Chain A
Amino acid sequence: MASISARRLRKELNEIHAEGCPCGIKLLNADNFETWFFSIEVLGESLYQGEVFKLMFRFDANYPISSPAVQFVVDQNIQAPIHPHVYSNGHICASILGTEWSPVLSVSAICVTLQSMLASSKAKERPVDNDRYVRTAPDNPKKTRFQYDDDTV
């Protein structure tokens, strides 16, 4: 029997193909049910006007019961946005990805949330503990016990 993640993701994918992504979000790659890539821009006036970022979603077999691992992609071509809740290695501190995750959420919902997190940002700066975190961070951001100090969602 196909895993529940496969079924759920297939439906989400069909919906994306049928109705498109939210504005500013584009599906880059969804060849399998393990890893998806999106490009994300903040539309309108914002600190990140004109900048394009790349999001990576990783799913395990229990999605949506278990939350996806979400991070910005960082490589020679692209950087993570400079934001108080985004580490330079791409990891994101957002409650929706952690304690506030609910199985009724979706990939689109996360994209939109992150988009608005960027849009409402007041300052372009890294988290205070960025350097220390990045040195010792695990590969999978879900392993990190983030402290959510302000409302990110």
Chain B
Amino acid sequence: MKVHVKHWSAVAQWRWNTGNNDQDDEGDVCGICRVPYEGCCPSCKMPGDDCPLIWGECSHIFHMHCLLKWLGTAPSKQQCPMDRRPWVTAERKIADTSNNPI
């Protein structure tokens, strides 16, 4: 017998590719606002592209808006909130799709 699939209306959740997608739990949160990455920062209403993440070379990840708020203050000294190293935004490679779970 052959099964010909004509149309599949599937449902999926989008996740940020943070390199940490094995657990199927609540998901990691942004250290600054304590809201999950897939949620939005306190200043935004919509998650996703409108409230994206920012990756640091130190491998720490935040909501971009949260981090920029921090970096915009003098006391931040342009340091990563987690490790106090000078913040450098990482170069994003083309999607590492091997992370895609099946």
A positions within 8 Å CB-CB of B: 1-4, 7-8, 11-12, 62, 64-67, 98-104
Chain B residues within an 8 Å CB radius of A66: 73, 75
Cβ contacts A to B, 11 pairs, < 8 Å: A3-B42, A4-B33, A4-B42, A4-B69, A64-B33, A65-B32, A65-B73, A66-B75, A102-B84, A103-B31, A103-B32
Evaluate contact between A4 and B75: CB separation under 8 angstroms: no
B70 contact set on A, CB distance < 8 A: 65, 103
- The reply to whether B43 and A102 contact each other, CB–CB distance below 8 Å, is no
- Pairwise interchain contact A103-B42, C-beta atoms closer than 8 A: no
The B65-102 residues at the A interface (CB cut-off 8 A) are 66, 69-70, 73, 75, 77, 79, 81-82, 84
A11 nearest CB neighbor, chain B only? B34
Q: Which of A2, A7, A98, A104 contacts B82 (CB 8 A)?
A: A104
Q: Which listed residue (B42, B43, B75) contacts A99, Cβ 8 A? A: B75
Question: What residues on B are CB-neighbors of A3 within 8 Å?
Answer: 42
A98 contacts across to B, CB distance below 8 A: 75
- Residues of chain B lying within 8 A (CB to CB) of residue A11: 34-35
Given the complex, which residues of A lie within 8 Å of B43, measured CB to CB? Answer: 1, 4
Interface residues of B in 19-49 (CB under 8 A from A): 31-35, 42-43
Residues in B with CB closer than 8 Å to A101 are: 75
B44, closest chain A residue (CB): A1
Residues of A within 8 A of B79 (CB): 102
- Which residue in chain A gives the minimum CB-CB distance to B72? A65
- Interfacial chain A residues near B35, Cβ < 8 Å: 7, 11
Interface centre among A3, A64, A103 (most CB of B within 10 A): A103
Chain B residues with Cβ below 8 Å from A4 are 33, 42-43, 69
Tell me if B81 and A104 are in contact (CB < 8 A): yes
Q: Chain A's nearest CB lies how many Å from the CB of B74?
A: 10
- Within the assembled complex, what's the spacing in Å between the Cα atoms of A12 and B31? 12
What residue of chain A has the Cβ atom nearest to residue B33's Cβ?
Answer: A8
Task: With both chains docked as a complex, state the minimum distance between the C-beta of B1 and any C-beta of chain A, in angstroms.
Answer: 53
* Nearest A residue to B66, CB-CB: A103
